[in-house]
Amino acid sequence: MKILFKSPEFTQSETDANFQQALEAISAYKGVEMMVTHYLLELDNALLDVGVIKQLFKLFEDWNIDPSPLESFVQYVEAEAQKNSGPTH
């Protein structure tokens, strides 16, 4: 899976290298491509789960990135939460 998102604006203490490290820390990370003002993040579909999605939302929050490219994951996370909190016997 690939996700295209706008590059964060780095402060003096934040660098592109720090951001690259944060991306590489995502457990389903496969690669990233810089595209002028955007990044194209590639994730391993086999490793994609709710935990990875939460990592992505946290990364976007920490780096002040517009989370709209992640909106399609919201329904998936909600469905997984309902499935896991289903009726118990």
Residue 73: CATH number of its domain: 3.30.70
Query: What is the number of structural domains in the chain?
Result: 1
In a domain, 89, yes or no: no
Q: What's the CA dihedral at 81, 5, 59, 24 to 10 degrees? A: 110
User: Three-class SS string for 26-41?
Assistant: CCCEEEEEEECCEEEE
Within a domain: 48? yes
The pLDDT value recorded for residue 89 is 54
State pLDDT tens for residues 9-42: 887 777 888 999 999 999 999 999 999 899 999 9
* pLDDT for residue 86: 64
Alpha helices in the chain (DSSP H): 16-24, 50-62, 71-84
Q: pLDDT-based confidence at 85, cuts 50/70/90?
A: confident
Whole-prediction pTM value? 0.83
2: which strand partners?
A: 42
